[in-house]
Amino acid sequence: MNEVEKMMIEKERKLLELEQQKINMGSPQVAGQTLQLREQQRSWVHDQINLEEEMGMIEHLLRSEVLKRDKKTGATSWVQPTEKEQIVLSDYGVHMFMNTICFYLNKNTLLSNYDPETILYKMEDLSMALADVVFMESEKIFQTPSFEECKKVFEDRINKKTELRKFAFEIIGNENVNVNKIKAEFIKEIEHKIEEEFQKIKEQLMKNKYKRFELILRVVQDVIHSTYLRALYGAERRTLRQHSHFTESLGMLPTQQKIRSTLNPLNYFKRR
């Protein structure tokens, strides 16, 4: 149990004692107000160090999903991209990055106390380790193009060549062009190396995904670095402590002060 957790437990204990004293003094209204403040404090602390929402959004983004709004209901949801080429990471790659991020985006990191030199050292070490892993396991981390994707690229290339040859014939005045015949001629020219063409297409698609490596690595580094900055010189712990003191001060409500004033023996002479 770290220092902040001990502090929060001690504050909870004191608030419980204060609540019991107020009830014993016959002031359930004040006790209810203190209980409400305690619940608000607990909710604020939970929201401050709970990163589940951020983790969920990061996973969606690593899967290349996009946030889409329903025009009828107005509700938003994460959906797969329309173009398969936009999917960069495989399930293995998403799991690897998310598993790494989970080790850092948690309350243990947020409630720590780091100096700038330690943060820089940790980030440099992490960056090198991530780069090494991605380089050694690139074929598993990045989404491999499917046969259908390669087929679509191959057909698009044949169609573009056919349209270009047709246009060339039209330029020289040959209007009666058989498009199917032109297309068949192109296919005949490469029929002995179709497998080779598919392999080239697959490699090119993978290279396009590899180009995203630096951007993904930089984003993951920035997410983790931002978490470390919240722990710079114990800033997150200090924020929680200040909020706890502020909430305790709010507990000194006018009603409570009135009760204490009534119980003061000197008030007997004032009323006389």
What whole-number distance in Å separates Cα of residue 194 and Cα of residue 163? 20
Average predicted confidence (pLDDT) for the chain: 79
Q: Encode pLDDT of 50-102 as tens digits.
A: 788 889 999 999 999 998 888 888 888 999 988 888 899 999 999 999 999 99
31 is a domain residue:
yes
Domain match, 200 and 239 both: no
What whole-number distance in Å separates Cα of residue 77 and Cα of residue 219? 22
**Contact present, 253 and 247 (Cβ < 8 Å):** no
Domain match, 242 and 201 both: no
Nearest C-alpha neighbor of 186 from the set 212, 210, 157: 157
Domain hosting 17: range is: 1-50+234-272
Q: Work out whether the CA dihedral 209, 211, 215, 220 comes out positive or negative.
A: positive
Rg from Cα positions in the chain: 33
Q: What are phi and psi of 70, to 5 degrees?
A: -75, 125
137 is a domain residue:
no
**Tally of domains within the chain:** 2
221 is a domain residue:
no
Spatial CB neighbours of 8, under 8 Å, sequence gap ≥ 6: 45, 240, 244
Highest mean predicted confidence (pLDDT) among 12-26, 121-135, 161-175: 121-135
Q: Give the 3-state DSSP-derived string for 235-254, with helices as H, strands as E and coil as C.
A: HHHHHHHHHHHHHHHHCCCH
Question: How long a stretch of residues is the chain?
Answer: 272
Domain match, 198 and 243 both: no
| pLDDT exceeds 80 at position 249 | no
